[in-house]
Amino acid sequence: MNSTLDTIRQGVVLRFHAPYRFKVSLLDAALGRVEAIFSAPSIFKSLVHGGLISYRLELWRDVYRISDVELLATPAAWVSSDILFLHHVLEMAAAFIQEHNRCPAVGKLFMKLYDAAPAESNIAFTRRLFLGKFFALLGVYPDDALAKENISLFQLFSVEQDDLIIDVSRVSELDKKLPQWLMNCITTHPRAHTFTTVEFVRIAL
């Protein structure tokens, strides 16, 4: 039985396997992370890792089929200029967001990837801040999140906000602790040893 979910949807391309396997992983604005298959070669041409796309989804048997794909936006310069960061974000999303987990706050945060960086921001810190907020919105914290030396980061991330603006006077202090905090979040995942983009965080330790 075929069932079209609705008209036009939006989502972020987390990964795709074409041309060998015509399958795409999406962060759908309403459904959360979903996997979909496609058969038209023209769809492959519209897929970009990290791209924001519009599309239609059809439930076919027990899988989704995607059609009418259009590329709406690609990540902003502060994201795409560090390809390791971009692929780290996508790998973490594919790993930590459970399939069909509706997470509107994370979806809203991901829209920041297509906006210009905050004026006069420290771009390297902004990238790490994005990751910290991503983990916090999913409830992922290091085991020692409440330790005295981490309390400033815990307070920062325990407030559910999707903005990437921080008082410039706090950046240096927070960024000294942030890389280790992120690494400790990553290692909470049972398959952390298989991740291929962790170097983005590791080089800042």
What is the domain count for the chain?
2
- Same domain membership, residue 91 and residue 39: no
Task: Report the pLDDT value the prediction gives residue 61, as an integer from 0 to 100.
Answer: 80
Tell me the pTM.
Answer: 0.92
Four-point Cα dihedral 85, 86, 88, 91, nearest 10 = 180
Domain ranges, residue 66: 2-73
Contact 33/14 with Cβ under 8 angstroms? yes
Contact 181/153 with Cβ under 8 angstroms? yes
3-state percent breakdown (helix, strand, coil) of the chain, nearest 5: 40, 20, 35
Looking at 38, 73, 108, the residue that finishes a domain is 73
User: How far apart are the C-alpha atoms of 61 and 119, rounded to whole Å?
Assistant: 48
Mean pLDDT, range 57-74, rounded to an integer: 91
Looking at 43, 73, 103, the residue that finishes a domain is 73
Please state, for a pLDDT cut of 70, what percent of the chain lies above it.
95
99-156, pLDDT tens digit by residue? 988 889 999 999 999 999 988 889 999 999 999 999 999 999 999 999 999 999 999 9
- Same domain membership, residue 157 and residue 60: no
Q: Which residue has the higher pLDDT, 18 or 17?
A: 17
